Amino acid sequence: MTLIDRFGRPITYLRISVTDRCNLRCVYCLPEEGIEWLPRENQLSAEEIARVVEAAAQGGVRRVRLTGGEPLVRPDIVEIVARLASISGIEEVSLTTNAMLLERLAHPLADAGLKRVNISLDTLDEDKFMRITRGGSIQHLWNGIAAAEAAGLTPIKLNTVVVNGLNADEILELALMTIENAWHLRFIELMPVGNAQNWGEGFPVLSDRYISVHEMQEWLSSFSLQPETAPTGNGPARTFRIPGALGTVGFISPLGEHFCQNCNRLRLTADGCLRPCLLLDGEINVRNALRAGEPILPLLQNAVDSKPEGHELFLQHYPESRRMAQIGG
Ligand code: SAM
C-alpha cells in the first residue's frame, strides 16, 4: 500500500521530532528564556515512535529523519534509532542535529543503524556562533563532524539559515568550505515560524532579516556554480557545485520558490501529532490511539488526506500553534 494524497503525491518520508527540548537557543528558533517544555508524559516513548513508523512503513514510508528540539538530548536516542532502523521497509534513518553531543554519540548511532546526519552551522566565527546559538561551542560542532565522518555517517549535510545582518556576509566563506570538504552545504531562507519577536541587542530587526535564495545565488555568481543532481535526501534543495569542489552548495527556498508540489513528507511531533505541513497549522493526534492500542495506519491516511496543496505564507497565513523546535524543523 502507498499513502498518496489528494494531489497525487506519494508520501514516503516521515520527519519525527523526538523531543521539543534543546540544549541551544538559536535566535531565530527559540526565545532566550526557552519555552514551556512538553510534559514528559505527553512525549512519545521509543516504543510508541516505533509503532508509528511500523504503520508508516506499511503505508510506503521508506525514509525517516529524527529531529527536534535537539534529538541527541534524548537519553534513549540510540535505542530509538536501533528500533526504527530494524523496521521492515525502512531504508534510511537519518538525523538533524546541532552536533553539540555528536562527538560521543556518532559511533553508537552508526552502530544502531543511523545512515547520515545533517548539522546546523550558521557561521564560521566562534564568537558569533556562541551569540547565534546563545551558548553553543563551534569546537564541539567541528569535533562532532569529525566523529560523524569517522563513523561513516556520510555524506555530511550542513544547514545554514541565512539572515541579513547576521550571517549573510559569510555565505562566500561558507561555500568555499565545500571545495576541500565533501560536505553538502545548504543555504536556507529564514522561515516565519514563531520568531517575529526582537532577538536582542545587536541582532537585526524583523523587517531587515529575510534574504531570498535568488540574492544568495547572485552573491555566489563569481563561482560559476554548476547545476548538480541532488545527493540522496536533499529534498527541496537546488544543488550546485563550485567547479572542481568535493562538496556541493544547495539552496532551499520555502518562501521565494514554491516546492510544495513535490512534497513527499509527513511530520510527527514529539507529543504524537501528525502534521501534514510544516508551515500550516493543522494536526492529527495519534498519541491517544497509540495509548488505546488502536491501529495507526488509518490516522496516517487521514493526515495524508488532509495534506494541503501547499503552504500559504504568501497569504500571510503563518503557523502559530507551535515553534520550529516543537514541530521539528
Ligand atoms: N536541533 C537540531 C538542529 O539544530 O539542527 C534539529 C532541530 S532544528 C529546529 C532543525 C533545523 O531547522 C535547523 O537546521 C535549524 O537551523 C532550522 N530552523 C530553525 N528555525 C528556522 C527558521 N525559522 N527558518 C529556517 N530554518 C529554521
The atom number, within ligand 1, closest to the CA of 122 reads: 16
Q: pLDDT tens, 132-177?
A: 999 999 999 999 999 999 999 999 999 999 999 999 999 999 999 9
Beta strands at 248-252 and 238-241: parallel, antiparallel or unpaired = antiparallel
- CB of 100 sitting under 6 A from ligand 1: no
The residue whose CA is least distant from atom 18 of ligand 1 is 329
- Residue type present at position 325: A
- CB of 161 sitting under 6 A from ligand 1: yes
Q: pLDDT tens, 287-312?
A: 999 999 999 999 999 999 999 988 87
- CB of 268 sitting under 6 A from ligand 1: no
- CB of 326 sitting under 6 A from ligand 1: no
Distance of alpha carbon 307 from alpha carbon 274, whole angstroms:
10
Q: Which three cell numbers stand for residue 271?
A: 507529543
pLDDT band, residue 234 (cuts 50/70/90): low
Cell 513528507 maps to which residue? 265
Q: pLDDT tens, 71-81?
A: 999 999 999 99
Distance of alpha carbon 152 from alpha carbon 42, whole angstroms:
34
Ligand 1, from 66, 160, 188: best to mutate by most atoms within 8 Å of Cβ? 188
Percent of the chain with pLDDT over 70: 98
The pLDDT of residue 81 is: 98
- Residue type present at position 300: L
Q: pLDDT tens, 4-35?
A: 999 999 999 999 999 999 999 999 999 988 88
Question: Does pLDDT of 227 surpass 70?
Answer: yes
Q: pLDDT tens, 30-79?
A: 998 888 899 999 999 999 999 999 999 999 999 999 999 999 999 999 99
Domain 13-327 has CATH 3.20.20.70: yes
β-bridge mates for residue 95, sequence order: 66, 117
Beta strands in the chain (DSSP E): 13-19, 63-68, 92-97, 116-120, 157-162, 184-189, 226-227, 238-241, 248-252, 265-268, 273-275, 284-285
| Weakest mean pLDDT among 117-121, 184-188, 225-229, 243-247 | 225-229
Residue 291 C-beta-side C-alpha neighbours within 13 Å: 12
- CB of 192 sitting under 6 A from ligand 1: no
Count of beta carbons in the 10 Å neighbourhood of residue 261 = 10
End-to-end CA distance of the chain: 28
